[in-house]
Each structure stands twice: as structure tokens, then as C-alpha cells.
Structure 1
Amino acid sequence: MEKLEEISFKLISNSGEARSLLFEALRDSREGNFEEAEKKINEAETSMLKAHESHFSLIQQEAAGDKIEISLLLMHAEDQLITTETLKSIVKEMILMNKKFSK
């Protein structure tokens, strides 16, 4: 079983990668590069899937009776995951607006 710190850092790393890709996608869409923006959204979603898999491993661990010790690092990791999920929804909407107004 992976250590809690390792899982937390995977969450932070994958969420951070996704967040960077989302901002790149937004910049691409602002410049009218919608195909490139879509590629980056897809890459971001792949990174988020990895983050969610790490998070789910913690849920499985606790469900199996192995108590998870809450730490500041884990709270930060979960915060990164949640905020990046929110950002993903907002960026997708903004890209749609950019497409609409570029016509």
C-alpha cells in the first residue's frame, strides 16, 4: 500500500499539471486555436483521472478498515483536486463563449 504522503503528492502533482493545461487551453481558445485548446482539455482530463485514481485509493483503503490520518498535506492535496475540478468546468464554459464570440 502506498504511503499517504506519496498519494498526497500524486494528487498535488496531477492536479497541478491539469490546472496548467487548463489555463493553456483557455489562452489557446482566446487566440482562436480551438483544436489545440481541446487537446489540452483532454490532456488535463487525463491528469485529473490520475488524480482521482490516487484519491480513490485512499477511499478504498479507509473502506477496508485502514484508518486514514488527516494531515495538512492531504487537506492541501484534496483542495487542489477540488479547485482544479471547478476550474475545469469554468474553463470549458469560457472556451464555449470564446467560440461563440469568434464567429
Structure 2
Amino acid sequence: MSEDQNDAQLEVCMGLIINGGSAKSFAFEAIKAAKNNQFDTAIEKLKEADKYLIEAHNVQTQMLKNEADGKSADISLMMVHAQDHLMTAITFRDLAGEIVDLYKKLDSKK
């Protein structure tokens, strides 16, 4: 892999990590808001998390398109870490949505 290709792949990896981390942070903020019965804020935080996950998904889609076109990326430890980081963020976002819903249900029973 050339230095330019390596730099490009590192940039992709960092984009996945940054977007995944931002999504996870917003999802965590949504849980905190719901815990304090701030449900409108919680929903907004989940929407923010979704925006970052969409950005990361777009990067992944481009990588898949490139591979389908015969331009596959080298699998590096950084790429594995980036994908792992993103998948954890997606799972956390999904769980945060469920927790926000649970707090809403608990609040409605008061």
C-alpha cells in the first residue's frame, strides 16, 4: 500500500472512530436526560447520535462500493478497531433508545 493509500485508509478509520464515539456520547447524554425526566432533550440527543451514525454508515457504504469495484481496503488493526468501535456505538445507541422508552413508561405510571 502506498503512503497516500495508507493515509486515506487512516482517515477513513479515524472518521469511523470519531463518528462512532460522538454517536455513543450523544446516546449516553440521552439516557442521562431521560433519567432526569427530560424526554424532549433525550429524543434530541438520540437524533444527534443518529446523525453521526449516518455519517459513519456513509463511509462504510463507500468502502463496500469500492470493494465491489475491485478496490478493497487492506485489513489493518486500525480498521478492525474502527469497525469494532462503530458497531459498539450502534449497539449502544439502540440500547439507549430502549432505556429512554423505559424511563418514559416509568414516568407515565407516576
Measured against the shorter chain, the TM-score band is over 0.9
Q: TM-score, normalised by structure 2?
A: 0.89
Equivalent residues in 2 for 1:63-78, closer than 5 Å: 63-78=68-83
Q: In structure 2, what residue type is equivalent to 1:4? A: Q
How far did 1:63 drift? Answer: 0.7
Please state if 1:8 is matched with 2:8.
Answer: no
**Partner Cα distance (2:72, 2:34) in 1:** 44
Name the SS of the counterpart of 1:69 in structure 2: coil
Q: Supply the RMSD in Å over aligned alpha carbons.
A: 1.3
Distance in 2 (CA, whole Å) between partners of 1:64 and 1:4 is 16
Please report the TM-score for the alignment, with normalisation by the length of structure 1.
Answer: 0.95
Give 1:67 shift.
Answer: 2.4
State the identity as a percent.
Answer: 31
Count of matched residue positions in the alignment of Structure 1 and Structure 2: 103
The match for 1:59 among 64, 83, 87 is 64
Larger Rg: 2
Deviations 1:55-89 (A, max 9, x none): 11111111110121000110011001111111111
Aligned to 1:39, which of 31, 37, 44? 44
The alignment partner of 2:74 has SS state of coil
- Ranges in structure 2 where 5+ consecutive residues have no aligned partner: none
Segments ≥4 residues shifted beyond 4 Å: none
